[in-house]
Amino acid sequence: MIKAILIFNNHGKPRLIRFYQYFAEDMQQQIIRETFHLVSKRDDNVCNFLEGGSLIGGSDYKLIYRHYATLYFVFCVDSSESELGILDLIQVFVETLDKCFENVCELDLIFHMDKVHYILQEVVMGGMVLETNMNEIVAQVELQNRMEKSEGGLSAAPARAVSAVKNMNLPEMPRNINIGDINIKVPSLSPF
């Protein structure tokens, strides 16, 4: 089981949090802080597993994370998950994001948290791995987006126009903070 999925940036700002077990909001924030504290002080060339200890769920749980440019993707899992499998899963998830957002960068996650959630929902459900095939995930996400668009129809047009206008005068929104090297060598990657 996956207990929680956290995405935060190099400064510990949460970009997406998904707990599969209930924690009150302040507890959630504390978990994020502590996880960030644990993860951020690790070099990039050390292993990607951390024993979570007292953080969530006790000794059976591990933190498995990957660091891409400005973002940390942290999965908190128990011993029924394969460590290398989860690392692959993170990679699949990030590559899926990359496909869905076309060169994903931190800003995509910042402004489209809801969409990231929808993508995640196609990968993991209720703490269990739902789908690991990227093409299948992307296909499902796109079908749903298409449906959303068709529902929007005319009535949503003005709102979209306004939001486009709002986005126009946005010089401070740089598109170049790419998540970067998502094709980090994954030793265990096999055709899943």
Residues that bind other proteins (CB under 8 A): 1, 14, 16-18, 20, 22, 24-26, 28-29, 42-43, 45-51, 80, 82-85, 87-88, 110-114, 117-118, 121, 125-133, 136, 140, 143-144, 147-148, 151-152, 155-156, 158-159, 162-163, 166-167, 170, 187-192
Q: How far is the CB of 138 from other proteins (least distance, A)?
A: 14
Which residues lie closer than 8 Å to 69 by C-beta, 6 or more apart?
106, 177, 178, 179, 180, 181
Q: How far is the CB of 132 from other proteins (least distance, A)?
A: 5
Q: How far is the CB of 73 from other proteins (least distance, A)?
A: 15
Q: Is 138 exposed, middle or buried (0-12, 13-18, 19+ CB in 10 A)?
A: middle
**Rounded distance, CA 17 to CA 152, Å?**
27
**Rounded distance, CA 131 to CA 100, Å?**
16
Q: How far is the CB of 117 from other proteins (least distance, A)?
A: 6
Between 69 and 186, CB nearer to other proteins: 186
**Rounded distance, CA 71 to CA 85, Å?**
20
Q: What is the DSSP string of 104-155?
A: -BHHHHHHTHHHHHHHHHHHEETTEE----HHHHHHHHHHHHHHHHHHHTTT
Between 81 and 98, CB nearer to other proteins: 81
Between 25 and 181, CB nearer to other proteins: 25
Between 1 and 69, CB nearer to other proteins: 1
Between 17 and 97, CB nearer to other proteins: 17
